[in-house]
Structure 1
């Protein structure tokens, strides 16, 4: 394993120490590894969300000519649909 030196605020350092003393983690390294796993998951989710948005945009662009929509009427129709569904 590679050793890194990181700088933390006093509050961050105290929080890590409390997590260790509380038994949630065995070491600072374990906390940092857990934080990195969560960061990696968040980055993966962002990538998937971006891909989804790109597909939705492409689908929208290929769906035909745009149609002007009156925002007030559009909201009114959505509310009416919701009321009809119960």
Structure 2
């Protein structure tokens, strides 16, 4: 393992130390490794969500020209669609 030097706020240091003192973690390093695992998971979910949004955007752009519609017309169309689905 490689040793790194990081800077933490006093609040972060206190939380880290509390996690170790409470027995939730065996060491400061374990807390940081767990935090990094969670960050990696969040980043992976963010990438998947961005890919999903890009696909939806691309599908929308490929679906044809848009149209102007007022709120009342849109609401009526949505209600009609919901009724047709049962």
TM-score range, shorter chain: 0.7 to 0.9
**Partner Cα separation in structure 1 for residue 76 and residue 21 of structure 2:** 56
Consecutive unaligned residues in structure 1, runs of 5 or more:
none
* Deviation larger for 30-39 or 66-75: 66-75
The list of structure 1 runs, each at least 4 consecutive aligned residues, that deviate by more than 6 angstroms after superposition, is: 79-83
Query: In the alignment, what sits opposite 1:6?
Result: 6
| Cα RMSD for the two superposed structures | 2.3
Number of aligned residue pairs: 86
- TM-score of the pair, normalised by structure 1: 0.83
- TM-score of the pair, normalised by structure 2: 0.83
Gap change, CA 1:13 and 1:79, over 3 Å in 2: farther
